[in-house]
Amino acid sequence: MILRKLKLFFEHKLAKIAMSVLITLFLIILIIPLFFDFESFKPEIENQISQKFLIKVKINDKIVYRPFFRPHIRLSSIDLYQNVKKDDGYIGNIDKINLDINIFDIILKKIIVNNIEITNGIIELPNNYIDNFSKNSLAFSEKKKISVDSLDLKYQLNNGFVELNDIKGEIKINDNFLKEINLTTNLFNFPIFINFQGSKYKDKNQGKFYMKIPSLEFILHLTLEDFDILKNKYLGKGNIKFENPSSSVGLNNLHLDFNLDLKDDVVFFDKVLINSYLFEGSGSGKVLLKPNLYFNTEFNFKNTNFKKLSNLNLKKALINYKLFRINENLGGSLKLHFEKISTSQNLFNKADAQINLEGGDVIVQDLILSSNDNDQLKINGRFINEDKETTFFINCDIFISNLKNFYKKTNGPRDKIAILASTSFHGKMNSNLNMKKGIIVINDLISENKKLSKNIIKKSEEEINKLLNKNILNILDPRIYSILF
């Protein structure tokens, strides 16, 4: 009985103590801050945000203390400036920022900006911001969480910008270590989901990056074996899956594996393996990140089946999706070699091509299709974007080793085969192809070094446009050049 009374006494006593502590904390959180002038903290808050995020901030409205759920202060109507030292170069505004605070720090008249919550904002960042921010040790020091809700972000390039709309999510940093990223946003009107999970292994930072574009059924996985944000160094492996069944140009069910090595603003891709419903192959390359994005890659394909290309989907890719509308800041060189190819005509079995990107134009340099009989079709051209339309300026060269045998393989009319000689043939065509309308205009036709008449050219245009309307890939079919024979 005595033990039971003692137990009840202590339980009652502990309950009183616990209740007293809770009441005291409640009073500290709710009452004491009312006696502080939070406006006096404004210069220090502005200074800390400027140092950690490399953006000059100016808080226009009064700072409001919010005790409930978690002690925090609210900043409203925040103007942002590019120049950290003065109000110069306006780059945007944020409607609200919530900052978590420690009441005991406030009592000691100090404040630390760590956990920050941004709501409703529009920011336009200069083209060197990401580079400078990634090298700013203060941005990754201490433990902090950055939460974002409804933020629109424009990032300037040399001659344009990239825009991310309606960014939501959070970023967690733990003492110079990027721990976690969970974001959703819209890029070019495509919803994007981004996730990153960081980990430590011995003295290395490691992580797994995941990006998904649901509407395109595009997924990117990166496994980083060693990375250092401040040194801009990343080493690891990657995998891309592009499983959109309505895609064309051979990207359906694309699986791409590669090794990644980024250092000194150059990304090296090694042991790249490509597999899709259309082709399989391997390659390597590198991407220069400065001063503008530039890639240099080379791929070899063992088997490619062009018979599987849908004419309808290919037209959508070329016309509706504006496949050849390239940002003028992007440059590069892409070399392609196809060892075994299959086409609906089975006239060629291998191909080589070099495609260059220059100033927003796509340049086809020596697209050469050849057969075991030494027949060859060579196409050079340039895709140029003007007045919201894309035009392919084409120069075609066709060489046939045996005209009669070649025309037999194309299942040409017997009466025409009968009059053809078993000799070689060389012809040329200069033309423009309107990618939006799918209509070709022929400028010159040359058969065995002889220019053909305007009447023949006009008739040839009509015949070729009929064939292109049936299947745009007929531009690669030597039979459409039979007008030269």
Domain range list for the chain: 1-30, 292-485
CA distance 252 to 245: 6
Please give the pLDDT value at position 31. Answer: 58
Average pLDDT for residues 103-107, to the nearest whole number? 68
Asked whether 184 and 192 are in contact (CB, 8 A), the reply is yes
Closest-CA residue to 170 (of 155, 181, 156, 185)? 181
Residue 283, strand partner residues:
272, 299
Closest-CA residue to 147 (of 107, 200, 188, 100)? 100
- pLDDT interval class at 195 (50, 70, 90): very high
Residue 59, strand partner residues:
78
CA distance 8 to 18: 15
**288 pLDDT above the threshold of 60:** yes
Q: How far from 279 is each of 150, 220, 241, CA to CA, in Å?
A: 41, 20, 14
CA distance 46 to 41: 9
Span of 8-12, 339-343, 363-367, 440-444 with lowest mean pLDDT: 8-12
Which segments of 274-410 does DSSP mark as H helices, in order?
311-315, 403-409
Percentage of the residues of the chain whose pLDDT score is greater than 90: 12
Please give the pLDDT value at position 6. Answer: 43
The conformation of residue 452, written as its DSSP 8-state character, comes to P
Closest-CA residue to 226 (of 217, 236, 237)? 236
Give the 3-state DSSP-derived string for 88-138, with helices as H, strands as E and coil as C: CCEEEEEEEEEEECCHHHHHCCCCCCCCEEEEEEEEEECCCHHHHHHCCHH
Please give the pLDDT value at position 183. Answer: 95
Average pLDDT for residues 53-61, to the nearest whole number? 88
Please give the pLDDT value at position 9. Answer: 44
Computed over every residue of the chain, the mean pLDDT equals 78
Asked whether 266 and 286 are in contact (CB, 8 A), the reply is yes
**187 pLDDT above the threshold of 80:** yes
Please give the pLDDT value at position 160. Answer: 65
**310 pLDDT above the threshold of 60:** yes
Please give the pLDDT value at position 29. Answer: 53
- pLDDT interval class at 121 (50, 70, 90): very high
Length of the chain: 485
- pLDDT interval class at 345 (50, 70, 90): low
**412 pLDDT above the threshold of 70:** no
Q: Decide which of 271 and 211 is more confident.
A: 211
Asked whether 160 and 327 are in contact (CB, 8 A), the reply is yes
CA distance 222 to 8: 59
Query: What are the pLDDT digits (tens) for 440-454?
Result: 888 988 888 888 888
The conformation of residue 349, written as its DSSP 8-state character, comes to S
Average pLDDT for residues 37-64, to the nearest whole number? 85
Average pLDDT for residues 280-301, to the nearest whole number? 84
Asked whether 213 and 191 are in contact (CB, 8 A), the reply is yes
**295 pLDDT above the threshold of 70:** yes
Please give the pLDDT value at position 10. Answer: 45
* Token pair in block for residue 82: 């590019």
CA distance 120 to 97: 9
